[in-house]
Amino acid sequence: MKTNMGSFDRIIRVLIAAIIGYLYYVHYISGTLGIVLVVLAVVFALTSFIGFCPLYTFLGINTCKKKVT
């Protein structure tokens, strides 16, 4: 499993996950939509911490900067 997410992408995902979590916590979003968004936020957070997005692999996207040696 190679890292395929750059630092900017990871930061954006963590911020989106935090915003969704906060909105769910203050009951701004609720019900089925709230649960779906919380699951999405958890996925965003996990992929950010791991640095790997399976969907990026499927689509051939790589935002991680390459090391030049």
Q: Is the pLDDT of residue 20 over 60?
A: yes
Per-domain boundaries in the chain:
7-59
Show the 3-state SS of the chain: CCCCCCHHHHHHHHHHHHHHHHHHHCCCCCHHHHHHHHHHHHHHHHHHHHCCCHHHHHHCCCCCCCCCC
pLDDT attached to residue 50:
93
* pTM recorded for the entire structure: 0.85
- What percentage of the chain has pLDDT greater than the value 90? 74
Of the pLDDT bands very low, low, confident and very high (cuts 50, 70, 90), residue 3 is confident
Mean pLDDT within 27-49: 96
Residue that the structure tokens 């499993």 belong to: 1
